[in-house]
Amino acid sequence: MARRALTPYDKPMHGELEVPGDKSISHRAVILGSIANGTTKISNFLDGEDCMRTVKAFQLMGVSIVKQESTIIIEGKGTSALKEPVEPLYFGNSGTTTRLMLGILAGLPYFTTVYGDASLTKRPMDRVINPLTEMNAIIDGRNDGSYLPLSIRGEALQGITYTLPVKSAQVKSAVLLAGLFANGETKVIENTPTRNHTENMLQAFSAAISTDGRETTITNTQTLTATNVYVPGDISSAAFFLVAGAIVPGSKLTLKNVGLNKTRTGIIDVLQAMGADLQITNQQVSGGEEFGDITITYTELSSTVIEGDIIPRLIDEIPILALLATQVEGTTVIHDAEELRVKETDRIAAVVDVLTTLGANIEATDDGMVIHGKTALTGGEIKSYNDHRIAMMGAIASLITKDDVILDDDSSIYISYPNFFEHLKDITI
Ligand code: S3P
């Protein structure tokens, strides 16, 4: 636990940063590399606490995974070489590890128990357990099997057709991963598109998967073929510096090699709708994932409405977008974001609390928030709620506050952005 005082910085920021690898893609690369046959080399892997939970889980199941700086090398020997873990798997704060691993563990012939930290223990798991149970999985846990700790007894699974009742890529991914082991076909239908990294990566590892509009179908593929993966920078991490460039007058920042998968770029659409000066250059594709450099040049912005199908495309960026909304003229309204209530913390309540403490004019609604700009932010003592994205939002706010921002605890930042404060320092000297 580390308390941190952040001093306001009222000069333009200039510079280039390469944000760490994408969290969602890093998890998926470890999962597929660990069950595939052959050597998988993952470069620009996110060395954050969450992704290391996934690494540790497979190491406990006997997979050789070696880390050399930001490269991970996995010697995959297929699912038949995995071992039943002799100890419970600890997933820390990581919802992605938990939900995706449930999809894998449900189809392996082992008994496993899984648990997590206080935040993860409060997050709903029935959204994943329900479809997996329909596939024949045997999963039990606290509160009628809806919350961690959970036990999983792997079973012969049966393919299903499942329409997602929640806008969740984690649920979609759990069902598709279980579909690798299930008899016949497994089909997932989503009414609102969510991030499709699992689909892209299953394709790259030669699974029998296809997507047609909003339906994705996978057929039993016991043997995946290893492949090398380059993990682009995480747009959810870049988001903090995109907003920094958008709120500090005179700034110009370039974020290099940032993932630009269309299911994740809602923040770019919102910034453009607000009138931001954004340039995207050096666009490339690797493993089905687009990436490129984003340059933001400060300009006055105006308010917008964020709702509907764009929400899953920017769900993790809403805390930092709320900070941005405090610095633009007019009222910004965010709707349809009720999923924020079940993230690492209730992010609607946390964002409203932190920004109110800093002097913003913001109200919570059931499914989002209403922010009246533009307000001068004061500074003050804020709570991170043990949530990395709330802590980083508070740190970025300090760039423009009148007085210091005191963060009660900055340790959650290691979850997704271990070198965040170094990067903040690089552009504020
Ligand atoms: C993620 C999906 C999203 C997101 C989370 C990562 C993933 O969660 O908020 O940070 O990697 O699939 P939901 O699926 O719960 O929306």
Cβ atoms of residues 382 and 358 within 8 Å: yes
Which residue's alpha carbon is nearest to atom 5 within ligand 1?
A: 96
* Cα distance between the two ends of the chain: 26
Cβ atoms of residues 152 and 102 within 8 Å: yes
pLDDT above 90 as % of the chain? 99
1 has a pLDDT exceeding 80: no
- State residue 406's pLDDT score: 98
The number of angstroms, rounded, from the C-alpha of 285 to the middle of its chain's C-alpha atoms is 20
For residue 387, give the nearest of 360, 414, 363, 367 by alpha carbon: 414
429 has a pLDDT exceeding 90: no
Q: Which of 22, 24, 417 to mutate to test the pocket of ligand 1 (most atoms within 8 A of CB)?
A: 24
Mapped onto helix, strand or coil, the DSSP state of residue 35 is helix
* Cα 110 to averaged position of ligand 1 atoms, centre (Å): 26
Name the residue with tokens 């999923």.
339
Q: Which domains does the chain have, with CATH numbers?
A: 4-21+232-426 (3.65.10.10), 23-218 (3.65.10.10)
Question: Any known ligand binding at 389?
Answer: yes
241 has a pLDDT exceeding 90: yes
For the stretch 137-155, pLDDT in tens is 999 999 999 999 999 999 9
Mapped onto helix, strand or coil, the DSSP state of residue 321 is helix
**Residue 316 falls in the annotated catalytic set:** yes
What is the secondary structure of 213-228 as a DSSP string?
TTEEEEE--S-EE---
For the stretch 71-123, pLDDT in tens is 999 999 999 999 999 999 999 999 999 999 999 999 999 999 999 999 999 99
The number of angstroms, rounded, from the C-alpha of 288 to the middle of its chain's C-alpha atoms is 18
- Tell me, using a 6 A CB cutoff, whether residue 96 lines ligand 1: yes
**Amino acid identity, position 150:** L
- State residue 181's pLDDT score: 97
**Which atom in ligand 1 lies closest to the alpha carbon of residue 24?**
11
Q: Which of 22, 50, 316, 410 is catalytic?
A: 316
**Amino acid identity, position 371:** I
For the stretch 160-184, pLDDT in tens is 999 999 999 999 999 999 999 999 9
What's the rounded Cα separation, in Å, for the pair 395 and 252? 19
The token pair that represents 320 in the structure block: 């930092």
Least confident segment among 8-12, 234-238, 381-385, 413-417: 8-12
Beta strands in 44-137 (DSSP E): 64-68, 71-77, 89-90, 111-115
**Which atom in ligand 1 lies closest to the alpha carbon of residue 23?**
11
- State residue 222's pLDDT score: 85
Per-residue pLDDT averaged across 40-45, rounded? 98
For the stretch 322-372, pLDDT in tens is 999 999 999 999 999 999 999 999 999 999 999 999 999 999 999 999 999
- For the chain, the average pLDDT equals 97
Mapped onto helix, strand or coil, the DSSP state of residue 306 is strand
Question: Any known ligand binding at 374?
Answer: no
